[in-house]
Chain A
Amino acid sequence: MKQPVAAPFLLRVAGVLVGCLTAVLNLLYFVLAGAALGAFLLWPRTRPRAHALLAAGARRLTGVERRRRSLFFRDAFPEHRACDQQILRYLAARTYSGLLCAVVVGLVDFGAVLAGIFAASLTHTSMTWVDILGQVVLGGTLLFLAVQGLRALTEQDARLARECFGPSERELLQRRIDELATSRAAVVRAVDVERRRVERDLHDGVQQRLVALAMLLGRARRGRTPERADALLEQAHKEAQEVLTELREVAWRVYPTALDSLGLREALGGVSERCALPVRMEYDVPQPLPSAVETAAYFVVSEAVNNAAKHSAADEVFVRVHGDGTSLVVLVRDTGTGGADPSGSGLTGLGSRVAALDGTLRVDSPLGGPTTITAELPCA
């Protein structure tokens, strides 16, 4: 989950002051609306209408408060519609804390004026230094209390807003749990897909070649003439080399051991060597990466590059791996015809792999190209 960026200090101070003003407005509204609707609110038959009216006005004012929070405090609230009861409760609590805030701000101003007068009178005063010290200690204590009060009130303002506009802690937790459950299931699925692929690689690649090799040897043994047998043996020998190459390739596709021994950069070098298309690689990662991130980044590049070579009709692939300490961004772009399907098994598997690390995977592939696959992986 991303932490929102805090607003600059002066902007927040302005937000607090504006909050004092809106609290006064809210108070006025409650007084006026209360006076106008009070009787209707007490009478059961008109109560629902009156209540709805009161809440509608409160909703407008709450909208103003919400804008104030977003503008001065950079709060990013999700789309979330609170009920009338919640709105009224929020506005009442917010008005109370805003008025209290206005009082404290007033006291601070008053204290500042007093401190100014006191400082100005220091030059021609008959006060002893004990009196002066007493005044300073008293002023300092009052200032400390006022600042503490302000801090508590601004924090309460933020908390009230969070509870009314944003998802509550509980909702956030629930959301996180859902997210984790989904990504866990997806990871299991992705693992199964990979296993199936390995099985197919072994059977449709290595096994077929071995059968063909054994068949060549069988034919050589049945060869009618020594020359014929020799020719077949030579073919079989060549085929044995091919089987070994294929086996190496399959093993590499299952897990590139270079990742463990030589790191991401070398393993990516292996990907571009194996790719039929020219691959331009930009690698800019200053610090060592967690191994899970390295593995995920490797598979993103490997799958995306393979897809480009297989399906995109591209003539070049560009890969950029860029780290800044907090996250690693992997970008793969080809010059092909686009139209990649993000719901295909390969890309879904990649998405799951990335999501399991709380990262995001974006596939942008308009018809006509180019296809861009971007993965962002948090490294913290």
Chain B
Amino acid sequence: MRVILAEDSTLLREGLVRLLAEEGHEVLAAVGDAEALLAEVGAKTPDVVVTDIRMPPDHTDEGLRAAVRIRELRPEIGVVVLSQYVERNYAAQLLTSSAERVGYLLKDRVAQVEEFLDALERVHAGGAAIDPEVVRQLLIRTTHADPLTRLTPRERTVLEALAEGHTNAAIGQKLHISLSAVEKNLNAIFDKLGLSRTTGYSRRVLAVLRYLES
């Protein structure tokens, strides 16, 4: 796939460029701030953009704002943001428009090369990749008033895997259960979350977004 990178740490940027090149991807541009990122995206046609959230000049959420902007202007481009912390608001901002071709990963996830590359592939294929750690923390935060608390432990693990952006088949493999068991669990989840009347892929996304609603 063709990738554009935005990361202000030179060291990490170079590492990412090398890693992607080794994997046979084409890095169209690697820049150090959000402004340059938007300029590059305007001039080139990447499949996926990977951007750090905290970048110069203020080191707050420049990368996130650029990512949201790219999703508005060029929805066909997949966007993966890298965050220093689990930031519920950031994740919500990024995912509320739609949860297709989007990823929200913790920066440390890059260190787990396989998982990172896998997340990129999923986003490129039109799916979502949400960091397992983000999902875990959001699950911890749910309260009793939340419909999520009505899920069985098994349903929770299925939803967690779903939130990470896995397909039904992949969830089945991951949890060592049959595909029909996965589907049964998912239907139960959609029921409990009041999503039984919505159809298609967006149901999966909405289920994920249940976590991210503040």
Contacts and interface: CB of A to CB of B under 8 A. Distances in A.
Interface stretch (A104-112, A202-210, A291-299): A202-210
Contacts of A210: 111
Contact of B108 (A211, A219, A222): A211
Contact of A208 (B9, B18, B112, B114): B9
A215 B107 CA distance: 11
20 contacts: A203-B54, A204-B8, A204-B9, A204-B54, A204-B59, A208-B9, A211-B111, A212-B12, A213-B111, A214-B110, A215-B19, A215-B113, A218-B19, A218-B111, A218-B112, A218-B113, A218-B114, A219-B22, A221-B113, A222-B114
Nearest to A219: B19
Given A210-B111, A214-B111, 15 more contacts: A200-B59, A203-B54, A203-B84, A207-B84, A208-B11, A208-B12, A211-B12, A212-B9, A213-B111, A214-B108, A216-B15, A218-B113, A219-B18, A221-B113, A222-B114
Main secondary structure of the interface of B (DSSP, over half): helix
Interface in A194-239: 200, 203-204, 207-216, 218-219, 221-222
A211 B84 CA distance: 11
Contacts, number: 50
Of the four ranges (under 10, 10 to 19, 20 to 34, 35 or more), the interface on chain A belongs to 10 to 19
B113 A222 contact: yes
Given A200-B59, A207-B84, A212-B11, A222 B16 contact: no
A208 to B, nearest CB: 4
Contacts of A209: 11
Nearest to A221: B113
Nearest to B59: A200
B121 to A, nearest CB: 15
Contacts of B54: 203-204
Main secondary structure of the interface of A (DSSP, over half): helix
A212 B15 contact: yes
Interface of B: 8-9, 11-12, 15-16, 18-19, 22, 54, 59, 84, 107-108, 110-114
B110 A211 contact: yes
Contacts of A212: 9, 11-12, 15
A216 B112 CA distance: 10
B59 A215 contact: no
Contacts of A221: 113
Contacts of B110: 211, 214-215
A213 B108 CA distance: 11
Closest 3 CB pairs of A and B: A214-B111, A218-B113, A208-B9
B22 A215 contact: no
A210 B108 CA distance: 9
Most buried by B among A203, A207, A218, A221: A218
Contacts of B111: 210-211, 213-215, 218
Contacts of A203: 54, 84
A211 B8 CA distance: 14
A243 to B, nearest CB: 10
Interface in A258-307: none
B144 to A, nearest CB: 34
A242 to B, nearest CB: 9
A208 B84 CA distance: 10
B130 to A, nearest CB: 19
A235 to B, nearest CB: 10
Contacts of B114: 218, 222
A204 B108 CA distance: 13
A219 B11 contact: no
A101 to B, nearest CB: 68
B119 to A, nearest CB: 14
Contacts of B59: 200, 204
Given A207-B107, A222-B22, A222-B113, A215 B84 contact: no
Nearest to B111: A214
A191 B210 CA distance: 38
A197 to B, nearest CB: 11
Contacts of A222: 22, 113-114
A215 B9 contact: no
Contacts of A219: 18-19, 22, 113
A310 to B, nearest CB: 15
Nearest to B16: A215
